[in-house]
Amino acid sequence: MKRVVAYFAAAAFAVLGAFAGMARAQSDAAPASKLPESFLSANGQEFKLVSPGVFMMGNGEPVAELIKKFPGGQQSSMETSVSRRVTLTQPFYLATRLTTVGDFRRFVEATGYKTTAEQKHAARALDSTGAWADMPGLNWQEPGFEQGSKSPVVCVSYYDALAYVNWLNATAPSEPTLGGKPRYVLPTEAQWEYAARAGAATEYFWGDDPAAGAKYLNAADAGGGPAGQKWTSAFPFSDGYGATSPVGSFEPNGWGFYDMLGNVWEWCEDRFETYGGQPVVDPRGALFGEYRVLRGGGWDAAPALARCAYRGANLPDACNTNYGFRVAIIPPTPAPAPAATPVEEPAANVAEEPGPQAPAAETPAQEPEETVADQVVSDAEFGGAPRSGSGIAEESPLKQKIAKLGLFALEGRKIIGDDVVTRAVESITVADYREASAALKAGKPLDETVLKKIKMAALLAELGEANVPESGLPNYDLLPAVAQDRAVLLGSLAFIGQELLDDKEDGGEEEPNETPK
C-alpha cells in the first residue's frame, strides 16, 4: 500500500507543480546562449531576451534617507522594498513595450471578453479634487482621457491581464525563431525589477537624480494631471502629458525596454508579501495572499514611487486608470536530441564508455535525487496537468477529483472561519511540498509539521464535503486562474492526506510519524 501512496502522491505533486507553477523556473526555459537576443512575435510585439544573472533587489539606502531625497513616498510602503541579493537562473523574454489599447482590442474582438471594470460599470480614477474614487462608466475604452491605439491599455485588473495572457497561450502559434511554442506569462516581481534596472544599482535606471529623468518617463510633473490637477510631489520638469503617453514616447533603459518607470503601473505575477534580506533564487512571491504586485509607477507617480525598487500592490480586481501591464515569455524547452544509433563494442568497452548513459539498474541507491520538476513525468499517465482556464470536465478523473477536493477544502476553511487556520494554510511553502514528495517517494517518515499541513487540507476538504452539496460548489471553469490555482493546491494536499488516511484504515503499517495509541 505504501507504494500506491507514493505513486499517487507523486502524481498529485506533478499536477500541483505544473498547475501552480512551482517548477516552472527550473524546467521550462532553453539555454540563453541558444536564444536570439530579440524577436518579433506572431502578434506583432517585440521581445528582448533577458539572460540569467544576479542583482541587488530593493532599496539602495535606508528609508529615512530615501524619504529626504525622493518626495511623495510613505515610509510604511517604502520599508517593504528590503534590499536582498536575487539570483535568476533562467532566461526569459520581456516585451519592449507595454500592452497597448490596440493589442487589447484584438483580444476583446476575438473573444468577446468583458473586463472587470465593464462588469463593475466603474473604474477608479482621479476626481476633481485629485483624490482617487470609483467613477461610473469608466473602462479601458473610456478611461476619462484621450487614448489612441498606441496608448497603454488602462483600467485593467490583474484578472484582465491574466485573461489576455491566457488568450495568447491559446492562440499564439509556434515561433520558429525560438524553436517552438513560447509560454506567455506576466513577469515575476524579481524579473520585472531586474529588467527595469538594466544593470543599474541606482534608484532609477538612469541614476539617482530625478531631474535627469525628463527624457525617460511620464510621471507626476510640473504640468499636472489630466484635469489640470496639481501634484503635491512631482518631478522637476514637464513631460508633456497629463495622463498616459503613447508607448515608446520616451527613451528606453539600457536594455531596450520602454516605459519601465512611469506611464502605467504594471501588474506582476506575484502575490504581495513582506520578505527579509536573505539571498533568494528565482523568487515567485507568496503562495497565498489577497494582494497582487504592481511595479513601475504610473503617469501620476511621485519621484519616490517611480523608482526601480518601489513596490505597489492592490487587490486583483482593482482597475485604476493608471494600471496596465506588459507580457513576458518563457522560451520553449528544446526538443531532446535523437538517441544515437548503438554501435557494437566488446562488452568490456561498453562498461567504460563515457557520456550521458541511462542508469544500468533502477536500485534506489543509484537513482539521482528527483525534483518536483522531474515528477511531471509521472503525470504522463494522466494526460498532463490542467491549465488555468481549461475545462475541468475534459480532464482525467484524477485531476477532476483534485480540483473538487480543493473546492471542498476552500469551503471547509470558510465554515471554520478562523484566522489561525487561514494563517496555517498560508504558511505552506514550496519546500514543504518538495520535502513531502521526496519522503513519500522514498518511503521515509514525513516531517511532523508537513504532515500536519497535509492532514489539515484533507480535514478541510472532508468538512466541506460533509456540509456543502457538490451542486453548491463554485463552477471551477468560471473561477479566475488565481482561484483555480488555489483550489488545485489545496486539493493536491487533501488528496495526499486522504491516501495516507486510507492506508491506515486498510491495515497498513503505522506511519513512523504517528504517536502509537
Same domain, 288 and 412: no
The answer to the question of residue 131 being in a domain is yes
What is the enclosing helix (H) or strand (E) of 420? helix 419-426
Same domain, 325 and 290: yes
Q: Which of 17-26, 132-141, 323-332, 391-400 has the lowest mean pLDDT?
A: 17-26
Same domain, 119 and 262: yes
Same domain, 180 and 287: yes
Same domain, 14 and 86: no
Domain count, the chain: 2
Angle 481-505/2-20 helices, nearest 10 degrees? Answer: 170
Same domain, 116 and 76: yes
- Arithmetic mean of pLDDT, 230-259: 95
Round to whole Å and give the CA distance between 32 and 34. Answer: 5
Same domain, 142 and 228: yes
Same domain, 94 and 195: yes
State the average pLDDT for the chain: 78
Residue at a domain's end among 276, 311, 330:
330
Side chain identity at 100, as an amino acid letter? Answer: T
- Can you tell me which residue has the cell 522637476? 236
Cβ pair 494, 458 in contact under 8 A: yes
Residue at a domain's end among 298, 330, 362:
330
The answer to the question of residue 366 being in a domain is no
The answer to the question of residue 339 being in a domain is no
In degrees and rounded to multiples of 5, residue 338 shows phi and psi of -60, 145
Round to whole Å and give the CA distance between 50 and 96. Answer: 11
DSSP string, 4-17: HHHHHHHHHHHHHH
The answer to the question of residue 288 being in a domain is yes
Closest C-alpha among 458, 459, 462, 433 to residue 447: 433
Same domain, 312 and 402: no
The answer to the question of residue 343 being in a domain is no
Tens digits of residue pLDDT in 65-120: 898 888 887 788 888 889 999 999 999 999 999 999 999 999 999 999 999 999 99
User: Regarding beta strands 183-185 and 280-281, do their DSSP bridges make them parallel or antiparallel, or are they unpaired?
Assistant: unpaired
Closest C-alpha among 454, 419, 418 to residue 433: 454
The answer to the question of residue 355 being in a domain is no
Query: Cβ contacts of residue 228 below 8 Å, gap of 6+?
Result: 242
148: domain CATH number? 3.90.1580.10
Tens digits of residue pLDDT in 118-160: 999 999 999 888 889 999 999 999 999 999 999 999 999 999 9
Where does the pLDDT of residue 187 fall: very low under 50, low under 70, confident under 90, or very high at 90 and above? very high
All three cell numbers of 304, joined, read 519616490
Residue at a domain's end among 272, 300, 330:
330
The answer to the question of residue 482 being in a domain is yes
Closest C-alpha among 174, 168, 166, 182 to residue 103: 168
Same domain, 110 and 141: yes
Round to whole Å and give the CA distance between 209 and 288. Answer: 37
Same domain, 398 and 316: no
Same domain, 396 and 463: yes
Beta bridge partners of 134: 124
Cα dihedral 269, 271, 277, 282 sign: negative
The answer to the question of residue 450 being in a domain is yes
Range of the domain at 146: 29-330
Where does the pLDDT of residue 472 fall: very low under 50, low under 70, confident under 90, or very high at 90 and above? confident
Cβ pair 262, 307 in contact under 8 A: no
